[in-house]
Structure 1
Amino acid sequence: MHWQVQEAKQRFSEVLRAAESGEPQIVTKHGEEVAVVIDIAEYRRLRGESMTFMEFLREEPVDDADIDAAMERASDSPRQVDLAG
């Protein structure tokens, strides 16, 4: 969504709510795009910043199927390794 600076000031809480829900909010001044308001998690992702384990857990929902798949072990036997060579 595009907001003129004056309108963005007046309705800043609404701008923030929309940004938090994953919709970047573009701010214009005299018809030109001058800024964008985005969710802090998206900002950190774009900057390549690492997150804490707790932030990771809050960020990505995990379902039981993902956990079950990660916990399964391969059913084939281990491969032979030549340590002499």
Structure 2
Amino acid sequence: MAVWQVQEAKTRLSEVIEEANSKGPQFITRHGSERAVILSITEYRSLTAHKPNLREYLLSGPKVDSFEVPRDRDTGRKVNL
């Protein structure tokens, strides 16, 4: 795992990209905290390839074709008016 400061990553962007392709994700920090990650295009595509669209996601849920709600046949209470 390589860590680059923002200024260094700016000045050596080509090297950061090559490192991401050959050695894996490159983390970029600002003031000591991680702010961004540079990935190779193959890693990015593998992460985003299996994401279903909303329709597929909703249709892949549990089937509720025979879903029945038992109802109480109680008519309520008598009210004196």
TM-score by length of 2: 0.57
Q: Structure 2 CA distance, aligned partners of 1:26 and 1:43?
A: 14
Aligned length: 49
**2:42 paired residue number:** 41
- For structure 2, the 5+ residue unaligned runs are 51-81
Which of structure 1's runs of 4+ aligned residues deviate more than 2 A? none
- For structure 1, the 5+ residue unaligned runs are 50-85
1:22 deviation in Å? 3.9
Q: State percent identity of aligned pairs.
A: 53
The letter for the 1-side match of 2:31 is H
| 1:11 counterpart = 2:12 | yes
> Which one has the bigger helix percentage?
1
Spell out the pairing of 1:62-77 with structure 2 (5 A cutoff): none
1:9 deviation in Å? 0.2
**2:3 paired residue number:** 2
Q: Structure 2 CA distance, aligned partners of 1:46 and 1:22?
A: 17
Q: Structure 2 CA distance, aligned partners of 1:43 and 1:9?
A: 21
Q: Structure 2 CA distance, aligned partners of 1:11 and 1:36?
A: 15
The two structures, once aligned, show a CA RMSD in angstroms of 1.1
**2:30 paired residue number:** 29
- CA deviations 1:31-69 (Å, max 9, x no partner) are 1000000101110100126xxxxxxxxxxxxxxxxxxxx
